[in-house]
Structure 1
């Protein structure tokens, strides 16, 4: 068994030291109120005892933690009192993620996370190993995982020979147009990590097994500075809202003084508690604008730091990526785990002709959003469409729109929302000094264009091998789903849809559903059309599964070029 980096002992000692610090303090305070001889004044003495006990436990935990690479599994042993031994088969490993924070990069350390398909969390985490050891583990586990897939594929093909020619890559046909302008396609040899010998703890004889085949890495896409800035300024990260709230609670007085100072030239109050209702109205509007601006700037900074120096490549049948400024990430996207591919674009990105490409994988995803992972954060729309075609083999979709009756439904829905908003403003004016509640009725002017925009951005396409679903205006998503990845197809009808003869079709895959990414849904189509799509999808799912079992291929080409 190999051990972690020696600095891990220090980390665990500090971590468990602070965790155990409070145990004797709480114990002394509780016993001090029950047992007479025990005094709460002993707490300052008991605290160092708890810290030392926790630090000792952390050091023992370090020495009891071990890992090794075997021919068939990646083994991890941990635990001090209750021992836990895990053998992770290479065929179940979905991703080997390497993370480095600022301090870790300065010290040459890294965190290695082993993620398996179907898991909701990381299966095994190595905190910390040297950077060279992290690269060695990542490369060897990926290599062994690829060999397991090759052996399984060869066995199935030998058992069920196919007369069909092997089609393993999709060619775009063009030269320069087949690659994103921000990245140039080319080959890079990945140096053999087994030749490195700069680890603090030398590898075992099992780890020194020389692999018979050198894996080649093909560069597919590099996010250049221009695209990075465009992506940062034309996208929004929900995490920025939490960051803005943290800043507000951390420095509430300073933020309020800033808002008051900004609102004064526009007629705001000179100080909190000194002003008229009109000045407070100005302060409210200016504060809201400032809050939105601050949140947006935090989102820009967060996106820039997250996707700085984004690189996408291919090693055998897996996509590999690297990204991050302050915290560096390195991981992979197994092609055989890809459930669907989604092209994303908001109004600003559509205006400048750009889009992004995301993939949904089965199980845990390192993007902190379930199985959603960014394959290409931002590129020109025509290249994203070419990428999607080469990745999935989908034909150019001819979208069908819902019936015009759906647009009338959205018109009524948004009218009700506008009416509730006006009613809320009217209620506020009854208990405050605000007047002219009827000015809020201007929101009704936005109802017709909102209903129309929602309607025109809905569409679906039933292809021979794929189902394509488009929805959304502010964040339009076009999802390509191979039939063999479909888990269930269900028809749903609300009370209002039943009255109008409409239905929605929900297409579920094995990818994780998150708060941001919802299940692909074909909204508000005629009931008969929904039933036809449902039946067609089921039939083509069975055909695709039979064909896939006969050929035993990955179903998706890993060739972008």
Structure 2
């Protein structure tokens, strides 16, 4: 078993030291309110004592934390008072992520996170190991995981072959009561040893050494290995053997500086909104004073307590514009730092990627865990002819989108489409649009929303000095184009091996789902859909649903068409499962680039 890097003792000591210091202070305050002798003077003794005890606990935690690689599992033991031992089978490991912040990169350290299929959190985390040790662990665990999967595949394949052989033998065996032929049938060698050979020399004779290649031999130059009489010696020899360093990586895609800048300026990160709100709530006074100062040249109030309704209106508009600009700048910076140096490669049957400027990430996307592939593009990206490629995996994903991971953040649309076709084998889809009745439904829906907006402004006019509430009626002008854009960006395609679903205007998502990855297909109808004879089909896979990535849905199609798609999808799902079981196919081709798509052969 191995221990973490010695600097981990320092970090754990400081972490628990400050934690226990704060707990000691809180405990002193609580007890001081109950017992009169306990006062603020006790902080002088309890605070250092809590810090020292916390440091001692952190150091003890470091010495009690151990990890190791065994032939079948990755083992982790931790805990000071309550011990926890985990044996993680390689077949359950989905990803081995490496993460390096500024501190870790400065001292040559890394955080290793091990994710398992179906888990919502990290199964095991090593804080910290050296960068060399992190790369070694990542390579060895990937190699052992690939070996386990390959052995399982071969075992399943042999079982299927044996089953087919038994069925074929049963079909060739004559029925009871049939007249046997004059030529006797060969006896099954499993029932009568040696009966499958007419050569008497094939049977072992007394005094003649067994010619089996596994038998020991004392003859000079004999290469036959002796049988292992001690299983412990076998395990020791296996542990002493050279460790595999993982499959060789092959570069598939590099995010060029131009593409990185385009991706940063044409995408938006919701985390930027959270950052702006955080700054606003924790620095309210200085932020408001700054906004008032910025709005003064445009007619804003001289002070927050002195002004007219017009000046306050100008302050509101200017502050909103400043908030949008600041949020956009933060989004650009966040995207640039997150995807700086993005590289996608191939290692065995997995996609491997690296990215990050301030905090560097290195992880993998298991090909057999890929549930669906989604092409994304917002209006700006579609205008310049670019798109992105995301994959949905089963279980946990290292990014904050559940199982969603970026395979290609941004590239030319033609290149992305070739990637998708080579990755999934899907044919060029011919989308079917919903009936025109759906567009009328969206027109009514957005009209209701516009009416609510006008009612809100009317209510504000009754409570404040705002009198031009009727100007809000202009929102009705956006209703027809909004309904049309909603309608024209919807579509679906029922292919031979894949179901393709397109939806969304602000972020158009075109999702390719292999039939064998479909878990369920649900038909949903609201009250309004039932009146119009429409229905929506929700296609669920094993990937995670989040607030950002919702379940692929075919919206507002005729009820009969929905039933046809439902029935066709169920039939082709069964056919795809049988074909996949017969061919033993993973379903995803990891070498999804071609020389023409990247301007030349991928570098080795």
Give the TM-score taking structure 1 as reference length: 0.90
**Aligned residue for 2:117?**
117
The 5 A counterparts of 1:395-406 are 395-406=427-438
Give distance in 2, aligned partners of 1:319 and 1:140: 16
Give distance in 1, aligned partners of 2:30 and 2:342: 53
**Aligned residue for 1:509?**
541
Partner of 1:469: helix, strand, or coil? strand
**Aligned residue for 1:356?**
388
**Aligned residue for 2:456?**
424
Give distance in 1, aligned partners of 2:110 and 2:245: 26
Deviations 1:438-458 (A, max 9, x none): 110000000000000000000
Give distance in 1, aligned partners of 2:151 and 2:35: 68
Partner of 2:34: helix, strand, or coil? coil
Cα distance, 1:54 vs structure 2: 1.1
Partner of 2:373: helix, strand, or coil? strand
Q: Which has the larger radius of gyration?
A: 2
Q: Which residue of 310, 330, 335 maps to 1:303?
A: 335
Cα distance, 1:40 vs structure 2: 4.3
The question of whether the paired residues in 1 share the 8 Å contact of 2:139 and 2:246 is answered with no
* Unpaired stretches in structure 1, ≥5 consecutive residues: 163-203
Give distance in 2, aligned partners of 1:205 and 1:105: 36
The size of the alignment, in residue pairs, is 520
Give distance in 1, aligned partners of 2:547 and 2:521: 21
Partner of 2:351: helix, strand, or coil? strand
**Aligned residue for 1:139?**
139
Cα distance, 1:276 vs structure 2: 1.2
**Aligned residue for 1:151?**
151
Give distance in 2, aligned partners of 1:33 and 1:404: 70
Instruction: Check 1:409–1:434 CA distance in 2 against 1; reply closer, same or farther (3 A cut).
Output: same
The 5 A counterparts of 1:290-439 are 290-439=322-471
The root-mean-square deviation of aligned C-alpha atoms, in Å, is 1.5
**Aligned residue for 2:569?**
537
Give distance in 2, aligned partners of 1:276 and 1:214: 70
Give distance in 2, aligned partners of 1:234 and 1:282: 29
Give distance in 2, aligned partners of 1:249 and 1:225: 35
Give distance in 2, aligned partners of 1:7 and 1:555: 44
**Aligned residue for 2:197?**
none
Q: Which residue of 478, 485, 491 maps to 1:453?
A: 485
The question of whether the paired residues in 1 share the 8 Å contact of 2:143 and 2:244 is answered with no
Cα distance, 1:353 vs structure 2: 0.2
Instruction: Check 1:213–1:371 CA distance in 2 against 1; reply closer, same or farther (3 A cut).
Output: closer
Cα distance, 1:32 vs structure 2: 3.2
Cα distance, 1:490 vs structure 2: 0.3
Give distance in 2, aligned partners of 1:29 and 1:445: 61
Cα distance, 1:259 vs structure 2: 1.9
The question of whether the paired residues in 2 share the 8 Å contact of 1:17 and 1:51 is answered with yes
Give distance in 1, aligned partners of 2:100 and 2:393: 23
The question of whether the paired residues in 2 share the 8 Å contact of 1:70 and 1:206 is answered with no
Give distance in 1, aligned partners of 2:296 and 2:480: 37
The question of whether the paired residues in 2 share the 8 Å contact of 1:29 and 1:43 is answered with no
The question of whether the paired residues in 2 share the 8 Å contact of 1:68 and 1:207 is answered with no
Cα distance, 1:101 vs structure 2: 0.2
Deviations 1:88-146 (A, max 9, x none): 11111000000000111001010000000000000000000000000000011001111
Give distance in 1, aligned partners of 2:244 and 2:283: 59
Query: Bigger shift: 418-427 or 547-556?
Result: 547-556
Cα distance, 1:260 vs structure 2: 2.0
Cα distance, 1:205 vs structure 2: 8.2
Cα distance, 1:212 vs structure 2: 6.7
**Aligned residue for 1:194?**
none
Give distance in 1, aligned partners of 2:38 and 2:294: 57
**Aligned residue for 1:479?**
511
Cα distance, 1:270 vs structure 2: 2.0
Query: Bigger shift: 214-223 or 75-84?
Result: 214-223
Give distance in 1, aligned partners of 2:411 and 2:60: 50
1:465 aligns with 2:502: no
**Aligned residue for 1:66?**
66
Cα distance, 1:326 vs structure 2: 0.2
Give distance in 2, aligned partners of 1:214 and 1:427: 66
Give distance in 2, aligned partners of 1:22 and 1:555: 53
Give the TM-score taking structure 2 as reference length: 0.84
The 5 A counterparts of 1:179-198 are none
The 5 A counterparts of 1:269-288 are 269-288=301-320
Give distance in 1, aligned partners of 2:401 and 2:503: 20
1:52 aligns with 2:52: yes
Deviations 1:317-344 (A, max 9, x none): 1000000000000000000000000000
Give distance in 2, aligned partners of 1:469 and 1:545: 21
Cα distance, 1:252 vs structure 2: 2.7
Once superposed, which parts of structure 1, at least 4 consecutive aligned residues long, lie more than 4 Å away? 204-208, 211-214
Query: Bigger shift: 371-380 or 45-54?
Result: 45-54
**Aligned residue for 2:195?**
none
Give distance in 2, aligned partners of 1:556 and 1:277: 62
Cα distance, 1:532 vs structure 2: 0.7
